[in-house]
Amino acid sequence: MRRLPIFFVLDVSESMAGEPIAQLQSAMESIVEQLRQDPNALETVHISVIAFAGKAGMVVPLVELMSFYPPRLPLGGGTALGEALDELMTRIEVEVKKTTSDQRGDWEPVIYLLTDGRPTDRTDAAISRWRKQYASRAHLIAVTLGGGADTRVLKQLTDDVVALDSGGGDDLSRFAQWVSASVAAQSQALDMGKSAPGISLAKAGEAGISLVKDSDSAPVDEQVVVFTGRCHRNKKPYLLKYNAVSVPGNFGAPAGQGVYGLEGAYPLSEEYFEWSSEGGAASTVSSDQLEGAPPCPHCGAVTSFAMCSCGKLMCCNGPGEQTCPWCADTIEFGKGGGSSFDIGRGQG
């Protein structure tokens, strides 16, 4: 039996924290559930998951549909698309069987690359390697979530770029429907001996997923800002996520001068740092630009937005002495506060 390898290359950068990653997770579950009901897909489809934030890595190796379980997706800082492509090419070399004189190899692999942001690493070398050595023997479909993805870069990589506008729950469930229907159709066509039917993007339009035709549209800037802090009690990390607020009269404010409203505070595990790129914050935001400071998602302390002189965020339960969970210095928090300060934001 020739296998039909499907690779999901998923952006798990910190802007995906909260709802988006939960929805991506359930989209993966629904794709697998729907495909398992298709006898052709059950015989041929094999799935692998590669994740990327500041670092890229394989999360699930290529396994048959029956033994694939959607993984819990990690989260990290950064969007290392170049590294993700390198990882993808490595996995294709390792996992996909080539046709030789004494074996029939796998079918052409299909790759769904989902991203919601702009690459934070160099992509040129990986993109040109992909175009030269892989584009003719694999089908890569790039899928953008929300308005922040860099379609110009994706268009260099593949002609097939589709957009899920809001990246919200409905979009992702439509995406799941479309992917499972396309993959099932592909495995059926292969079973009937058609040579290279290919995944049809025409069906994407029918499913309400828009095709990105030109590459001129610049990504929407500065939609999400994120910060990492640590709980002063258990030292565990957390993520604070703010979304750009459109203020009347302030529309189109220069980057770094917008206003951001709190979306939520999410507990993180140490794994977050393994998936984040080194090199720290991309830029800074003034605390004046931020509206809302949530309680600590770990210990419930009144604010998760206190800053040590080392420049890192921690939670704080009001005035008094506290030990910084990052640098272990003792700091005295006064009453009131009120002065604004600049903080390094994540890379998204």
Residues forming the site for Zn ion (CB under 5 A): 231, 233, 296, 298-299, 301, 308, 310, 315, 324, 326-327
Closer CB to Zn ion, residue 96 or residue 316?
316
- Classify residue 127 as exposed, middle or buried by CB count within 10 Å of its CB (0-12, 13-18, 19+): buried
Q: Compute the least distance from the CB of residue 295 to Zn ion, in Å.
A: 8
Task: Find, among 42, 8, 37, the residue nearest to 25 by Cα.
Answer: 8
Contact 19, 196 (CB under 8 A): no
Closer CB to Zn ion, residue 58 or residue 262?
262
Contact 121, 93 (CB under 8 A): no
Pinpoint the alpha helices (H) of the chain. 19-36, 39-44, 81-95, 124-133, 151-157, 169-191, 202-206, 271-274
In whole angstroms, give the CA distance from residue 111 to residue 81: 14
Q: Compute the least distance from the CB of residue 334 to Zn ion, in Å.
A: 16
In whole angstroms, give the CA distance from residue 319 to residue 223: 33
Closer CB to Zn ion, residue 30 or residue 303?
303
Q: Compute the least distance from the CB of residue 345 to Zn ion, in Å.
A: 18
Q: Compute the least distance from the CB of residue 307 to Zn ion, in Å.
A: 8
- Classify residue 206 as exposed, middle or buried by CB count within 10 Å of its CB (0-12, 13-18, 19+): exposed
Q: Which two tokens stand for residue 111?
A: 């790759």
Q: Compute the least distance from the CB of residue 55 to Zn ion, in Å.
A: 25
Closer CB to Zn ion, residue 241 or residue 298?
298
User: Which amino acid is residue 145, in one-letter code?
Assistant: L
In whole angstroms, give the CA distance from residue 102 to residue 118: 43
Closer CB to Zn ion, residue 55 or residue 298?
298
Closer CB to Zn ion, residue 230 or residue 345?
230
Closer CB to Zn ion, residue 94 or residue 310?
310
In whole angstroms, give the CA distance from residue 78 to residue 215: 23
Contact 154, 184 (CB under 8 A): no
Q: Compute the least distance from the CB of residue 268 to Zn ion, in Å.
A: 12
Closer CB to Zn ion, residue 2 or residue 233?
233
Q: Compute the least distance from the CB of residue 317 to Zn ion, in Å.
A: 8
Q: Compute the least distance from the CB of residue 297 to Zn ion, in Å.
A: 8
For residue 143, how far is the Cα from the chain centroid? 11
Q: Which residues contact 214 (CB under 8 A, 6 or more apart)?
A: none
